[in-house]
Amino acid sequence: MTQSSSRLTRRQFQSALAGGIGALAAWPAGQALAQEGKPIKIIIPFATGGSNDIVGRVLAQQLSIRLKRSVVVENVLGGGGSIGAANAARAEPDGNTLLLISSTFTMNSAVMKLPFDPVKSFTPIAMLGMGPSVVVANSAFPANTMKELVEYTKKNKGVVNFSTSGAASFQHFAVELIKTKTGADITLIHYKGGGPALNDVAAGHVQATLGSYIQMQPMLQAGKVKLLGVASAKRIDLIPDVPTLKEGGIDVEVGNWWGLLAPANTPTALVESLNKEVNAVLNSPDIKKRLAGEGADPTPMSRADFARLMADETQRWAAVAKQTSIKVD
């Protein structure tokens, strides 16, 4: 296992936010957001079809309407999200290149040597939302519950493969936790996004996967995959009959979240304006209805609160990395 050279702490995030960001020159926010002719680009560090892509495209559409300016997305794949993040870190700090992140961003540093500093290379803009996660299997898979899946893996060693959106991703950490807690015999297959990972489960090339409910719905509705359990802390209102992993005797709770960053040294006034505009989008009835219909909750926050959440999550997943001995080849 490759360890990063330093652990990220709440103090580091707060220092970066209060010190580095506070020292920047302020730009007139309205002028900065109204640059004609040049689109805002949101880098999504995973393939199309996953939860990051779904949330990022919804955000881009709504921001385009609100800002009266083109907001586009660019999917940059690989490295468990680190390649897209590195591209964003190198971008000009002018507010025209942003990075959509998920909980995976706070996991990478625990098991990977990154080509950027997760704290110093970025400026927090806004928290976007939280989404429950579920475990699904191919519709023809023999097990219909998580308990049955665990038992099946123990009787059929080396047979069950779980797909993930990439090494050091949210799914990677979650499934390693399940293996540690249950002793299940599971082999992980890493893809370059949640979309490709789910597609191979639906096609029967891989037996199961874990991911955000928001990305699972089309395949569930088509009958190509089936639900085995909810990995989040509580049942999902849209599927109230599906029990949580804890209810099934597996002591694991994992959910996903999404946020928005800018390259370090992006002017403070511009970042603050972006925070206000994103939060206004999240509070709109349309976005609330859209995300609620897919089991996710818009979660507007101040930039300081978002930085604290990132710091807490980084510490949490660093501890999980030690507990599970996660390895990245």
pTM of the model as a whole: 0.84
Helix or strand run (H / E) with residue 148: helix 146-155
| pLDDT (0 to 100) of residue 4 | 40
Q: What is the mean pLDDT of residues 115-124?
A: 95
Class of domain 10-131+256-324: alpha beta
| pLDDT (0 to 100) of residue 28 | 47
| Between 19 and 171, the higher pLDDT residue | 171
Evaluate whether 10-131+256-324 and 133-230 have a shared fold: yes
For the chain, the structural domain boundaries read 10-131+256-324, 133-230
| pLDDT (0 to 100) of residue 1 | 41
The DSSP-derived string for 266-323 is: --HHHHHHHHHHHHHHHTSHHHHHHHHTTT-EE----HHHHHHHHHHHHHHHHHHHHH
- CATH of 133-230 among 3.40.190.10, 2.40.50.180, 3.40.50.970, 3.30.360.10: 3.40.190.10
Query: For residue range 155-202, what is the model confidence (pLDDT) as tens digits?
Result: 999 999 999 998 888 899 999 999 999 999 999 999 988 999 999 999
Reply yes or no on whether the pLDDT at 296 is more than 90. Answer: no
Percent of the chain, pLDDT > 90?
79
